[in-house]
Amino acid sequence: MKELQNNIKGIVLALKNKGKMRLAGEINKNWQKTSLSYSKELNNWKPARPIEKELLSAFSKELERLEIKDPRKTDVLNSIKKRRVLQTGPHLGMSESPRMLCINWLGSLGVNMKDFYIVAMFSGIPFSNKSRPGRINKKKDSINLFPANMQDAMVYRSIIPEKLIESFDKLSKKIKKILPCPKLGGSYTKWALLGCQNIESKILNKKNLIFIDINEVVTNYLLEVLKNKKHIFYKIFFDTKTQKEFIKAFPNEIMFYSSGKQGKYDTMESYTLVEGKLINKNKEILLEDKKILTQELESGRLCPALITGFLTLAFLNQFKCFGSFAQVEYLPIYQKKLSGLGFMKEYSVGKIPTANLTTGVFPAQIDLYPIDIILGEKFSPDSSLKFGELLVPMKETLLGSYFVGSIRKYAQHDFAKSNEKK
């Protein structure tokens, strides 16, 4: 215990020296708790406002897309409505990293089996993201599912190519048995989400894990609330006074991502909000008529970015969003900025818990991927492990994590890092 305490003290001090005060504070406050007790504490949340009917409907549509039928769908929606807790750390891909497996183990420990642990995966990334969302990842190697010209394509609304079918056919029986059968031209995100859900439900021996694409949920939600001229999002996009106040607080903030093209290669672009329009380097979307924005959303050409998603979930609907080391730093900044906006006063933004740290790796198995476990690697984590024990093996990752104190810089940096080829 003394050695662990000293290691944590060193990490906390180094983080403070780097200006990562919130991350340092969360680690210092929670490191000595067991994984089980910390998870129970994280999952303890009672929202003060009811969930918007439009958002509950948006979750319902995503569950339908994933073919989750009644009575299970109703049970999941009731759990979402009551608990208002999401794991928003993982990027959307077919198989997760050792850290993301640990995050889901930790986050789900304190969830009653009658409720559901919802993994809200983020698809607004390119396949070249460092999380390798277009690969089946293992300890020793990975299996690429997408051709070279799609490596920088956006995961959101992507479809299954021939290469994925070919790669799937060559997989071992143990892997193929647990994955859905892919169909050429079908939804990649649906296939990947169901694959992740199957894999981690088996590994963690839990039937209450639900994996969804949170970008799909937010798109569904926006399409509904933009019908209401009194809604916050309608005012941000179409009311001059509200829009100016928002832009002043969030200048050049990325609101949406979109797919692009560079020669024969698919790319990913970002849209920012300026007076009366959304712009990127190649295109402008005029906000003179909501039908234009609605058409862009319906077509899948626009994918909600960070601020759009967290404004929906955390700040308008009081979801407690679990996240990793970067989110613990930037989400409270969103909170502070939104708290100062006149049109957000009624939402009690300052009362939402925004520093909900879930990160770590299993100390004895720091490089163990979910697929390795499916192929036979032993896996039996102990819920009495201290939270700090999950953090010490990833010390260098914690210290090297970027944070520059500005949402604009953070969002741009994250987008640039996402586009690095791995």
51, 54, 103, 269 from 46: Cα distances, Å: 12, 20, 22, 37
Return the ∠ at Cα 216 (arms to 168 and 245), rounded to 5°.
145
Return the ∠ at Cα 334 (arms to 332 and 339), rounded to 5°.
95
387 C-beta neighbours (distance < 10 Å), count: 25
Q: Which two tokens stand for residue 343?
A: 């049109």
Confidence of residue 289 (pLDDT cuts 50, 70, 90): confident
**Cα-Cα-Cα-Cα dihedral sign, residues 153, 293, 81, 30:** positive
Q: Which two tokens stand for residue 186?
A: 């079908």
Confidence of residue 261 (pLDDT cuts 50, 70, 90): confident
d(CA 367, CA 102): 11
Q: Which two tokens stand for residue 411?
A: 């969002």
d(CA 81, CA 56): 7
What pLDDT, in 10s, does the model give residues 115-132?
999 999 999 999 999 999
pTM here is 0.94
Instruction: Give residues with Cβ within 8 angstroms of 3, minimum separation 6.
Output: none
CA 278 distance to own-chain centroid: 23
What pLDDT, in 10s, does the model give residues 138-157?
998 999 999 999 999 999 99
5, 241, 355, 364, 394 from 25: Cα distances, Å: 14, 37, 10, 26, 17
d(CA 17, CA 242): 38
Mean pLDDT of 223-228: 98
What pLDDT, in 10s, does the model give residues 37-89?
999 999 999 999 999 999 999 999 999 999 999 999 999 999 999 999 999 99
Return the ∠ at Cα 372 (arms to 392 and 98), rounded to 5°.
25
Q: List 323's β-bridge partners, or say none.
A: 357
Per-residue pLDDT, 405: 44
- The residue behind tokens 């193929």 is 176
159 C-beta neighbours (distance < 10 Å), count: 15
